[in-house]
Amino acid sequence: GKTAGTGNGGSIALNAKQLDISGGGQITAATFGPGEGGSINLQVSDAVRISGKGETSGNESGIYASSMSESQDSGNGGRIELKAGELSLNSGAMISTSSKGGGKAGEIHLNAANLELGAESFVSSESHATEHGGDAGTITVDAEDSVRLTEKGALTTEAKGAGGGKIFVNAGNEIYLFNGGISSSVKQGEGKGGDVTTNSKFVILNEGDVTANAEEGDGGAIFIRTDNYIPSSGSKVTATSKRGNDGTVKIEAPDTDVSKGLTVLPGNYLDAARWLKTPCSARVGEKVSRFVMQGREGMPTALDDWLPGPGLWFAP
């Protein structure tokens, strides 16, 4: 739905069992004047898959709600709400709200059992105006099981001359970032960096970044609440500002430093030369030589014992 006058943009509502968008296909609601942008509401019982790009530059497959007027009196961008069984974006696909003028970028709310963003795919809310722009919108993700951001897939809010948006990520089991990111930032101007809040049983960062940075304004705030926080050495969690005050990073998680339970083994764990000097004697009659190495708190297994088989389960 689009409008170029003073009226509000039309809304789009879709109910389906499955939705596939590829090859530059798009669902779009936009306003080019002072009217409010239309909203997009998608209810899909099974899977939503969005992937790829069109032949022309900037024609990424996706779902878009935009306020395109650069005027300070421009309307706010529309809201995107999507509920699905499974949601996956790949190969540069996008779900995006944006504003080029004084209006705010719309909110994005995603609800799915599992959300996966891979291969430079994005869910983003952006404010492009460098002066007197509207704030970036809020992104909320509610996943029953997992949120996985891989291969530079990212959740982002970004503003140039306004305040950064907010990002909320809630997952029942895990939030996993493998070379992916969650970012709420302000690229220029005095706007404050946005806030990032995550809640999950596991938060795993494998070369993953969580940032709420600002240029001239203060950095944002990051809150990570989890039962198991596992970051790799190459991961970053930052809320900084180049010219303003740094923001806040708060991680609420038990101490899961696995290195504390490790023991350094001696360099010469087993002197092979010593054992070669005393080989097992030859078998004579019923006399059988044995060589057994028993580990800590374990029962030794003889060399001629039967190998254990896998356990069997019988369904009633």
- SS3 per-residue string spanning 26-55: EEEEEECCCCCCCCEEEEEEEEEEEECECC
Q: How far apart are CA 209 and CA 38, in angstroms?
A: 33
What torsion do the CA atoms of 141, 142, 147, 151 make, to the nearest 10 degrees?
Answer: -20
Using the predicted structure, report yes or no on whether residue 315 has a pLDDT greater than 60. no
* Amino acid of residue 93: A
Q: What is the mean pLDDT of residues 285-304?
A: 58
Tokens representing 201 are: 């049983």
Q: What is the mean pLDDT of residues 199-220?
A: 92
Entry pTM: 0.78
pLDDT tens digits, 79-125: 999 999 999 999 999 999 988 877 788 999 999 999 999 999 999 99
| Sign (positive or negative) of CA dihedral 273, 275, 278, 281 | negative
Measured in whole angstroms, the distance separating CA 149 from the mean position of its chain's CA atoms is 4
Using the predicted structure, report yes or no on whether residue 49 has a pLDDT greater than 60. yes
Q: What is the mean pLDDT of residues 295-313?
A: 55
DSSP string over 176-189: EEES-EEEEEE-SS
pLDDT value at position 66?
Answer: 87
Average pLDDT taken over every residue of the chain: 84
Q: What percent of the chain has pLDDT over 70?
A: 76
pLDDT value at position 13?
Answer: 97
Q: How far apart are CA 4 and CA 6, in angstroms?
A: 7
Q: What is the mean pLDDT of residues 298-314?
A: 55
